[in-house]
Structure 1
Amino acid sequence: MVSTTAAGTALAISAATPASETASGYAALTFTEIGQIEKLGSLGATYAKVEFQPLKGPKQKHKGSADYGSLQPSLAYDESDAGQTLLRTAAADETSKLYSFMVTYPTGAKRYFQGRVFGAPENVDGADSIVMQNPTVEINTKVVNGT
């Protein structure tokens, strides 16, 4: 396996829902790239650990419910960026609508999922800093691998 840097990774958003939660279902959507992203964060599911310790015998451990994770991208605020505008629209959406997302790695590999944006606060750190935005995207579906 060949490793790669994260440089060149892109995040895109769509207000549409795929016909199926497959790579081809997501690929049929029109995505708008979100510009000025500095970092994305972790992507992928984790599972709750369910344990039972009988009085006699070894502890039993099972996979519990899945948490598909969340992204907390850090991006330089840009009012003219169409992707950022759609991201802010998703953050302000009070209907709990799912938005579709696509992460594209430098190798061309893609990751698709649906999520809700739980806010997109702006961060004004100081005179010698860039005005940033730090949204939280809670992932609500399995992450689908695509190429």
Structure 2
Amino acid sequence: MASTTAAGTTIAISAAAPATQDSTGYAALTYTEIGGIEQIGTIGATTNKVEFQPLNGPKEKHKGSTDYGSLQPALAHSDTDAGQTLLRTAADPANNALYSFKVTYPGGEKRYFQGRVFGYPENVGGADSIIMANPTIEINTKVVKAAS
């Protein structure tokens, strides 16, 4: 297996929902790339562990609920970037809509999912720093993986 750096990875957003929850449905959407991305975060689901310890016998372990995860991308804030504008629209507290996302890796592999954006806080650092934004994207669907 060959490893790769994250350099060149992009994330894009769409206000539309896919007709089907597969790579064909997601690929048919029109996306707007979110510019100024420094990092995206961890993509993938985790399953909670449910345990039961009977008085007489071994501990039982089962799979519980699944959390599809969340992203906390870091990006250089821009009022003129179309992708960031759509991200801010999605983050509005009155907006509870699901948005579609596409992450494209340097080799062309894609990760598709739908999520809600919970805030778009801006991080103003010191004189020698860039004004950053740190939105939280809560993933609400299974992540669909597509080969390049």
> Where on the TM-score scale, by shorter chain, does this alignment land: which range?
over 0.9
Q: Which residue of 2 aligns with 1:9?
A: 9
User: C-alpha distance in 2, partners of 1:20/1:93?
Assistant: 27
Q: Which residue of 1 aligns with 2:52?
A: 52
Q: Which residue of 2 aligns with 1:142?
A: 142
Identity %: 71
Q: Which residue of 1 aligns with 2:26?
A: 26
Q: Deviations over 1:75-114 (max 9, x none)?
A: 0001111000000000015241100000000010000000
Q: Which residue of 1 aligns with 2:43?
A: 43
Structure 1: tracts of 5 or more residues without a match = none
User: C-alpha distance in 1, partners of 2:122/2:130?
Assistant: 11
* TM-score after normalising by structure 2: 0.98
Deviating 4+ runs (over 6 angstroms): none
User: C-alpha distance in 1, partners of 2:122/2:10?
Assistant: 20
User: C-alpha distance in 2, partners of 1:16/1:146?
Assistant: 19
User: C-alpha distance in 2, partners of 1:58/1:10?
Assistant: 47
Number of matched pairs: 147
RMSD: 0.7
Q: Deviations over 1:30-88 (max 9, x none)?
A: 00000000001100000111000000111000110000000000000011110000000
* TM-score after normalising by structure 1: 0.98
Q: Which residue of 2 aligns with 1:124?
A: 124
Structure 2: tracts of 5 or more residues without a match = none
SS in 2 for 1:83: helix
Q: Read off the aligned partner of 1:85 and give its amino acid letter.
A: T
Q: Read off the aligned partner of 1:81 and give its amino acid letter.
A: D
